[in-house]
Amino acid sequence: MTEQLIIALAVLFVAAGLLSLVANQFGLSPIPFYILAGLLVGRFEFVTPGEVLTLAQWGIAFLVFVFGIRLDFSNVQSVLRDAEVAASIQLLTVGPVAFAIGYAFGDLFGFEEPLRNALYFSAAVVLSSSLVGGQVLRREIQDNLVHGRLASSIHFFDDLVAIAVLLVITADAFTADAITSQLGYGVLFLAVGLLFYRHGFPILVRLADGDGELVLVGSISILVAFLAAAEYVGLSIVVGAFAAGIAIREDGTNALDVRNGIDSIADFFGAIFFVTIGALVSVPSPEVAIMAAVLAGLVFILNPLVHTLAFVYEGYDARTAFLASSSLNQVSEFSLIIAIQALLLGTIADALFEAIILAAVVTMALTPAARRWKDRVFQVVISRLLGGQRSRKVDERSEVDADLDDHVIILGYGRQGRRLVERLEAVDRSYVVIENDPILWDDLRANCRNYVLGDAMSEYPWKKAGVDRASLVVSTVDQREISETILALEADADLLLRSASTDEAEVLLDAGATYVTVTNVVAGKELVEIVEAIFDGGTPPSALKAEHLKTLEAIERDGFDTRYSRY
Amino acid sequence: MSEIALAADFAIIVVVATAVGLLARQTGQPTIIAYILTGIILGPVAFDIVTDEGLVDLMAELGFAFLLFLLGLKMRFKDIQEILRPVTNVAFGQTVLQTALAFLVAWALGFDTTEILVIALATVFGATPIIVKILTDKDEITSMPGKIDVGGLIVQDIYLVVVLALFAADDLGGAADIATTLGVILVMISFIGIFSLASSRYVLPKLFRRVADNKEVFLIVAIAWAFLFVAIAEGADLSAKVGAFLAGISLAQLPYSKELEDRITPITNFFILVFFATIGLQIDGLNALLAYWWQAIVASIILMVGNFWIMFYLIDREGFSVETSFLGSINMIQVSEFSLIVGALALDQGLIESDVLGYLSLMALFTMRVSTYVIAYNHTIYAKLEPWFRRFESEGDKSDALSQYRNHAIAIGYDEITERALPNLEARYGEVVVIDRRTDHIDEIEREGRYSSVFGDFRHTEVRKEANLKGADFVLSSSVEREVNEALLSEVADDATVFVEADRIDDARALYDLGADYVIMSTHLTAEKLATYVELHATDRAAFEGAIAGDIAEILARQRRSRDRFGGHAAIDGHGGDGDD
């Protein structure tokens, strides 16, 4: 028996390994390829005996557990503030549409519980995947670009919605009583998780006395305990796993070890989950194909469209709105979890289950591909759609003195931008700031004489800022597309651009930039100077430290170290 | 709805093991002892609420396979190359002499023939995971005694793999059967071994060079590789573990294995816990556990003392110093969990009864407890006994110095910031080790051949150990991630100079508080510089042009340098090396 199980796991992992090689070759997320691996090996029945299905459920538990662990409470509020409007708009417009379509399908194909199935369908449409979308935008999120930040906020919001949905669907009946008691339990679990975070986990760490392995095993025990409790009161294991994740603290001496350990185990079980879910799909029947196609269509086209409009409504420029939305067009891994939970409960129609999995594979695999076409789509669709409105919006939100001449244009109002504004005001030189993050609008109004709130990739904000009369343009943004846009303006002004590498700097200098700052070169130079100063014995490190701390204080007093600014 | 936690035996095992483990930790015992005790508590000996069937058995199997995979991963030929000869002599002699001793002891205690054979084969092994773990914790794994022990353990592990394969084979009737089976096993192992080594030479470097940059794919492909070998081994009627071990060896020779080791370890720890618990579960009852209690104590004492002297004689004969011989021997006195593994297999095959497994378990529990303390205090014990052991000193004992990084400089992340400072560090500290998580950066460093390099994410313990962070005099981190820099500052020697990078003022201040000597803040530096240039542009155009000319010359010079070096374009890009997830 055990031997067969090992062979089953071997088949599963070798297939997953091979297809993840393919994914890696094209720089795609491995997740749709795991599911695809499952589709391929699923025809051999020995691959998915009951035990493997149980392991797959542990995969779900670990995925959600990790999500719970990563949750940073200090950040939740500001993240939700970014996302709440757009995500709610999308939820309230796309949700009902998808629900209606789902209900129509249920009616058409004669599902047993059309209401529940309609709910599953709409959940699959509305939610987007943080694992896949987050991977696509990894660099942008890391660099804290506006659209990366927006997209990851929406992902986060969606994941929370998914957990709430899971809480509701595990109710025995769709009555107010049953749902209220589920929600009550959910809140109770979170409270216990938080309590443990405060008081229980530190005790564990103290008892483990520096042994990372024990903290790791202890963390898994916490997961087990919460899962068992969730099962005991009839909640979804996802809620238990989420609460358990919240109970884990990520600080202290073993934090790195424990985090690495849980990540490894989660990757292992997660792969089993994704392959298994693919293996549960048989050759699609026509009705499955139709539903999958409609679902994929809604997710792939309607979702980004509504998101884009919602972001624009909120005040973001069209490009940022579009770029953020273009990573929100795939079925969420949480939708897969909802689907498999519903399958285990026996409340989802088989055809719908298969349709959701297929749509997930297609949309997850297409997201990165779609990103490559983003500029084309933007030009052809979005620019036309919102063209006239764009310059009007820029006018509304900008403040530029019409007589400006021989002024400096500063692109980006982050830390560098603020420093520049301060310095220019000190020498009494006129300037215009261009910024695309509406969150900084209040700051701009309060601190800058002239500013333009708009997208530096389109021409109008530059015109508005009077680029043809400016004597200097300073960019604090190291995005290559932006630098190229500035060069393409063919202004007479001197151009101080910024790039992330000397490679790119050389190209930009060749293309006509007056000067290019490369942060790493500046820092490297400073580093060498300091190292030399210490090695020659001239300056003791303690003196450097004291001096630097004093500088930091001065900078902080000027108050330009905010969460939103990267540049 | 099927229940996964309430109904699962292994969930109970994990929770109880945690509790027992935390208790054991208070008395300084290794976790393995706690896991075996967990099995004894939950099994027929005490409460009898868990059985080793279904998932528990699968996880135990997986744990064992992963343990051998991990063991294979640690087998880097180049690590033991310099002392290969003496170590082979020691390990070979040790295996023969200790098997003989164990055989004699078992015979004297009156076991029957098959049992004697199993016990003798089982009790010869040193507990690789325990010894390696304790020595690593004490930072002695790279010392000379540590290397000798690890080398000896590796030879034993190969021996173990053969023994395991032998036990896993069905029908071991007479001597001829054993000889044939052994022959078949050796041929099979050689075939798979050749395949594994050939692929480690020709296929894997290319394959893993591509995937190593993506952490998740890297792990899954490695696990897939292990499972591929498991399947092949199963197909060839060999034990699955043999396959896992050979898969590990082929990956160990890659430059990326350090990080992989650290990623596989937690998965192994998780499953191996279940495995050790199942050993306790297999003992039929208190009677079986205690059937041979006094024999277990007598045998333990004889074997501990005997094994020490065997090792001491063998190491001393190779001409190592008395201290090295003493420490190398005293670290190796326990009966390992592998004896339980061999025992469990033999029980499975019906070669022994569960009371013999109880005997082996008692011995393992007993010797492991003693040896944990012995290893922990090995230097103190030596200091007490040194005058007496002096008599073994002889002329011309080998120097015990080993090549490893010491008083060196470490750079975390190879980018335009660190790259500039490396020549200064080299001039000052002689040796510079670069840690980076990107294969192209590592390739570049290797091609240049001027600095040493370690591939891997700094977050991983193994990676930090490989670069010997604790022995470094200067550490330069170009990671802006606070957790990475905090881990760095808590681990370096107190007198080391540490430069780190930070993005936020809060982070910088926290890092200074933790003892950083300088915090580089590139964004603020650039802001300052840019502000100066812009001001110059407005007030003194000539000065502005002079200043930027210098900087532009610098950028172009850098580009020329890297073109000269590589004949192509500059390969380093601007983003920091590690932390790409």
pLDDT tens readout for residues B456-502? 888 777 788 788 888 888 888 888 787 788 888 888 888 888 888 88
Nearest CB among A214, A519, A534 relative to B21 is that of: A214
Q: What is the pLDDT of residues A52-70, one digit of tens each?
A: 778 888 888 888 888 888 7
Q: What are the φ/ψ torsions at residue B258 (nearest 5 degrees)?
A: -60, -50
Helix axes A2-25, B55-74, angle to 10 degrees: 50
Which residue ranges form the domains of chain A, and what is each CATH number?
3-386 (1.20.1530.20), 392-557 (3.40.50.720)
**pLDDT for res B136:** 57
Average pLDDT rounded to a whole number, residues B224-230: 89
Check whether B572 has a pLDDT greater than 50: no
Chain A closest CA to B575's CA: distance in Å? 7
Chain A closest CA to B58's CA: distance in Å? 5
B225 to chain A: which residues are within 8 Å by CB? 17
Check whether A208 has a pLDDT greater than 70: yes
Mean pLDDT comparison of A10-14, A500-504, B245-249, highest-scoring range? A10-14
B535 to chain A: which residues are within 8 Å by CB? 423-424, 426-427
Mean pLDDT of chain A: 81
% residues pLDDT > 90 (chain A): 0
**pLDDT for res B110:** 77
Check whether B7 has a pLDDT greater than 70: no
**pLDDT for res A377:** 75
Check whether B135 has a pLDDT greater than 70: no
Check whether A37 has a pLDDT greater than 70: yes
Mean pLDDT of chain B: 76
Q: Is A544's CB within 8 Å of B518's CB?
A: yes
**pLDDT for res A566:** 46
**pLDDT for res A253:** 61
Q: What is the pLDDT of residues A458-487, one digit of tens each?
A: 888 888 888 888 888 888 888 888 888 888
**pLDDT for res B139:** 59
Q: Which chain A residue has its CA at the smallest distance from B537's CA? A: A472
Nearest CB among A51, A256, A531 relative to B55 is that of: A51
**pLDDT for res B578:** 36
**pLDDT for res B143:** 65
Check whether A119 has a pLDDT greater than 50: yes
**pLDDT for res B575:** 41
Counting one residue from chain A and one from chain B, the pairs whose CB atoms sit within 8 A come to 345
**pLDDT for res B128:** 60
Selection from B6, B7, B5, B67 nearest residue B35 by Cα: B67
Average pLDDT rounded to a whole number, residues B228-237: 80
**pLDDT for res B154:** 65
Confidence of residue B204 (pLDDT cuts 50, 70, 90): confident
Confidence of residue A313 (pLDDT cuts 50, 70, 90): confident
Confidence of residue B127 (pLDDT cuts 50, 70, 90): low
Selection from A436, A224, A421 nearest residue A322 by Cα: A436
**pLDDT for res B172:** 55
**pLDDT for res A478:** 83
Q: Is B425's CB within 8 Å of A531's CB?
A: yes
Q: Is B266's CB within 8 Å of A265's CB?
A: yes
% residues pLDDT > 90 (chain B): 0
Chain B closest CA to A271's CA: distance in Å? 8
**pLDDT for res A388:** 64
Q: What is the pLDDT of residues B326-356, one digit of tens each?
A: 877 777 776 666 677 777 777 777 777 777 7
Which tokens is B553 given? 């010359």
Average pLDDT rounded to a whole number, residues A206-213: 78
Check whether B580 has a pLDDT greater than 60: no
Nearest CB among A6, A224, A535 relative to B428 is that of: A535
Confidence of residue A559 (pLDDT cuts 50, 70, 90): low
Which tokens is B426 given? 């080299």
- List the single best residue of B2, B518, B554, B560 to mutate versus A (max A Cβ within 10 A): B518
Selection from A399, A319, A349 nearest residue A116 by Cα: A349
**pLDDT for res B1:** 40
Confidence of residue B141 (pLDDT cuts 50, 70, 90): low
Nearest CB among A55, A509, A556 relative to B505 is that of: A556
ipTM of this predicted structure: 0.81
Nearest CB among B521, B527, B554 relative to A416 is that of: B527
A65 Cβ contact partners less than 8 Å away, ≥ 6 residues apart: A223, A241, A242, A244, A245, A262, A266
Is the pTM above the cut of 0.90?
no
Q: Is A530's CB within 8 Å of B518's CB?
A: yes
Check whether B80 has a pLDDT greater than 70: no
> Is the model more confident about B559 or about B398?
B559
Longest dimension (CA), chain B: 100
CA A47/CA B562 separation, integer angstroms: 52
Q: Is B424's CB within 8 Å of A531's CB?
A: yes
* DSSP assigned state of A494: E
Check whether B74 has a pLDDT greater than 60: yes
Q: Is B417's CB within 8 Å of A520's CB?
A: yes
Average pLDDT rounded to a whole number, residues A240-254: 79
Check whether B576 has a pLDDT greater than 60: no
- Tell me the CA distances in angstroms from B64 to A49, A283, B340, B491, one per residue in order: 22, 37, 12, 32
**pLDDT for res A507:** 87
A25 to chain B: which residues are within 8 Å by CB? 210
DSSP B161-190: HHHHHHHHSS---SHHHHHHHHHHHHHHHH
Q: Which chain A residue has its CA at the smallest distance from B554's CA? A: A521
Confidence of residue B573 (pLDDT cuts 50, 70, 90): very low
Characterise A246 by phi-psi region: left (phi > 0), alpha (psi -120 to 50), beta (else): alpha
- List the single best residue of B420, B479, B507 to mutate versus A (max A Cβ within 10 A): B420
Q: Which residues pair with A451 in a beta bridge?
A: A399, A433
Chain A closest CA to B247's CA: distance in Å? 13
